Structure 1
Amino acid sequence: MSDHSTVSTVDTVACVGAGVIGGGWVAHFLARGFRVRAWDPAPDAAAKLTRLVDAAWPALTELGLADGASKDNLTVTPTLAEAVEGAGFVQESAPEDLALKQKLLTDIDAVTPAGVVIASSTSGYGMSEMQISATTPERLAVGHPFNPPYLIPLVEVVGGTLTAPWAVEWAADFYRHVGKTVITMDREVPGFIANRLQEALWREALHMVANGEATVEQIDTAITDGPGLRWPAQGPCLTFHLAGGEGGMAHMLDHFGPSLKSPWTRLDAPELTPELRDAMVEGCLDEADGRSIADLVAERDRAIIAVQRAVRESRDG
């Protein structure tokens, strides 16, 4: 059974894997006032993690830091066992390699104190296929974030066939406690929910570039200055509900339903030819127009904060 009091008493989090996603989790937990113990086998992991946290800190400071929040609360440990020592929660964020995930979660499970929930940031694998060799698989769940984890609120939580319901409930409670918006999924779905929606849009974008129907910049503008402006306040379903006017979704489906049979979209992935790859890479470089990755990250973070504030003010007002 989920214990809310235990959730609120956690003061130390272990982050295993310190790349873009793992480092983003580190920054988020630090900003929420936790002590963070991180481990990553890469020899330059500590230096990269420090740079990532430093880059994220201005945005987190602007959003508002929790009492006691400090970058000094980060410890990068030389071993996995030292990282999980004393932790009340473990977030794994290793690369998307099934064999690696299986072994790593087994290793984490072996050295983590009993009863501590272990969550994986996986974006594609189900916990059922990752927990197969763990000694106590009942405490393993998926906590799938979105990049950057220190700004995007959503986390999708779901267990595997061997996960106990209490672990899923506890993980969901903990993520809410640290300021996340949580979808607790009823069952495992390949790619989860948001990634499946993103993937459909992404595949159609690749088809349009491959067929010369649109450029990278045109596709991005079509979303940022089109439906993307509606989505922060209302998702695609409510957007179409409003498209039906006073009749709502019922009128929209009755009126536009036949168009669903129109061959507008192609959800099968196109072949990633060298030409398509080059077109996507060159299109992004053209759209970036000299801005570095660091420049674009800072620009993105400022925009996300502005959108979140505007939507919050609209809802509160």
Structure 2
Amino acid sequence: MSAQDDRVKAMRFQHPEFIPVSVGILPAAWKLHRERLDEICARHPVIFGEVKVGERDYDKVGGLYVQGRHTDPWGYTWENVCEGMDAYPAVHNVPTRADVHKLKAPEVHDGMPHGFMYMRLFYLRGFEELMLDFAEEPPELQMLIDIVLDYNVRELEYKIAQLGPGEKFVYFGDDLGMQHALPMGPYKWRKYLKPCYRKLYQRCHEVGWWVYMHTDGHCWEIIPDLKECGVDVINPQIRANGLENLVIACKGSICVNLDLDRQLFPFCTPAEIDAHVRHCVERLGAPEGGLWLAAEIGPDVPLENVEAICCALEKYRAYFR
């Protein structure tokens, strides 16, 4: 059975042969560790496929991972202070509510990159100003949401025209939470943002697509809402949500691609990594499926821990066989 088949079976709770696993490596980690990291990847073809050490350009970075300032088609400015790590929005081009009335969505097709809906609101307004908008609920809040949503609807239709209908995964990313809470609370999220995701994701289902949604931060209270909107696979962080909360919100109900504890990886031992992965599988996994596992490697993760992550994923992917 292929990895794709296992992903689909896990999503549908149809008894996959293996738990699907993946490891993502940030460009900054490649720049730091180079061939030594490549050698680890080559030892784990189940995760990385066939790897030939030395063929990769370890210094290659692109997009917002390039150091410097970048202007988005929407007009806000990103700043990257560390090559190979992600950038942050440094200049917000809709700082006042009056500016919302002048905002025009880009005419170019920029797609729906990470931060396509909720995050784009604070990229434009600034986080503090947007939180005041959610608290005070001026008409400009809904106006701003509508401008961003209408653009996303247009981009989704463009993507549908390009890819066509049929069963396939489509990926969305929008970090809805902070470390310990939803920034505007569940009530305001359901009032203002849930209709946006519902409109987009239900359109995906109309053409037969499966919706995969990545979302960092604390969001477990609204995962059932995201399922109602049409999310088929949710990619939450374990540290921000808590494993037991994710068990309550997800187990047996929606497939989880669990973002393993990247805040643990730089500081723990290989034995602790093994125990962490096993515990996640025991609590959130089941023979019928509903679980994928994902790990992200930053430059602060020791190489012995990268090796331990790969070994643990290969070991416990077969836990229910």
The structure with the largest alpha-carbon Rg is: 1
> By percentage of residues, which structure has more helix?
1
TM-score by length of structure 1 reads: 0.33
